[in-house]
Amino acid sequence: MKKIAVLTSGGDAPGMNATVRAVVRTAIFNGIEAYGIFQGYKGMLEGKIKKLECGDVGNIINRGGTFLGSARFPEFANPDVRKGAIQNLKNLGIDGLVVVGGDGSYRGAMALSREMDIKTIGIPGTIDNDICGTDFTIGFDTALNTIIDAIDKIRDTASSHERVFVIEVMGRNAGDLALVAGIAGGSESIIIPEKKESLEDVISRVRQAEARGKKHSIIILAEGVMSAPELSEMIKKDYGINVKYAILGHIQRGGTPSAMDRLLASRLGNYAVQLLIAGESGRAVGIQNNRLVSSRFEDVFEDEHTVDLDMYEVSKQLSI
């Protein structure tokens, strides 16, 4: 292994910079040249690749976003598009690739690992926490802290005005962000794609809280179920409750990465390079029970991501 390139792809996540820093510095520590690919797979195709030194990744461990830039690039599903991108890596003599991203980025990485003799490792970077083979993805913890901060602020005003609020959080088709933020934020109800619950039950908890003198109700809604305006309209129409809503949106993707995300990024970035040095390819790294692990991309896709439904039960018992 002489030259390793790293890219960040898909939706950005706090901690991606710390990941790139770890990959670059581990490579250089081990006598390997490091290259950054700018704007994800799009930049790989367009040849936006630059050699990086230790100093190039200085002062970024604390920064949100990704200094390499990122892109959604569905065209990469086309093998002919990938051919051009692979050629760009070959021209530079790159023999190892680290892809930091979510589900779509892993699919690109898996295809590449089958089509080229450049060894490829994936690192889970997404706020959604929806990747199998790891307990946590990089960015999840920071996004949770952002959501909790928003819930606390909304609770203040909801309480003053005795209002019911629906707060819509990201997560694509996964309910992880909603479930954990709902528990940690002390919400009355959590609505996630993985657990069907009737609106009747949701409203009965709101009424219960009201009956014991609670001045506000917070309903956390995962975007994968429906939108906050839709839910609010249903509640108004069917129950005559005039709810307010807030869509947290891309605020959840930005901001200074938390200590947990910086640590996870540093450990996984280092581990990914160790695997490349050991000759591994076609694998994604992760953390399970605080141990670093790796799984074949195929196995990551075969498993179905689920939330911990015991936690859902906890949320119900605590919101009586």
**Residues annotated as part of the active site:** 128
Residue span binding ligand F6P (CB under 6 A) among the ranges 19-27, 152-160, 168-176, 292-300? 168-176
Can you tell me which residue has the tokens 């901690």?
15
* Number of chain residues interacting with ligand F6P (CB under 6 A): 11
Closest to ligand F6P by CB, 72 vs 107, is 72
Cα separation, 10 vs 66, whole angstroms: 11
Closest to ligand F6P by CB, 186 vs 254, is 254
Pairing status of strand 217-222 against strand 244-247: unpaired
Provide the mask over 251-290, with x wherever binding to ligand F6P is found by CB under 6 A and - wherever it is not: --x-------------------------------------
Cα separation, 182 vs 219, whole angstroms: 8
The yes or no reply on residue 36 touching ligand F6P (CB under 6 A) is no
What is the closest distance, in whole angstroms, from the C-beta atom of residue 68 to ligand F6P in the complex? 16
The yes or no reply on residue 42 touching ligand F6P (CB under 6 A) is no
The yes or no reply on residue 3 touching ligand F6P (CB under 6 A) is no
Beta-sheet strand order (sheet of 217-222)? 189-191, 217-222, 164-169, 244-247
User: What single string gives the DSSP state of each residue in 82-98?
Assistant: HHHHHHHHHHTT--EEE
The yes or no reply on residue 69 touching ligand F6P (CB under 6 A) is no
User: Among 39, 70, 126, 294, which residue interacts with ligand F6P (rule: CB under 6 A)?
Assistant: 126
Residue span binding ligand F6P (CB under 6 A) among the ranges 33-41, 150-158, 169-177, 226-234? 169-177
Cα separation, 23 vs 223, whole angstroms: 33
The yes or no reply on residue 170 touching ligand F6P (CB under 6 A) is yes
**Is the separation of the CB atoms in 66 and 20 below 8 Å?**
yes
Per-residue buried b or exposed e for 167-199, using 16+ beta carbons within 10 Å of the residue's own CB: bbbbbbebbbbbbbbbbebebbbbbbbbbeeee
Kindly list the residues in this chain that would bind ligand F6P in the complex (CB under 6 A). 11, 72, 102, 126-128, 170-172, 223, 253
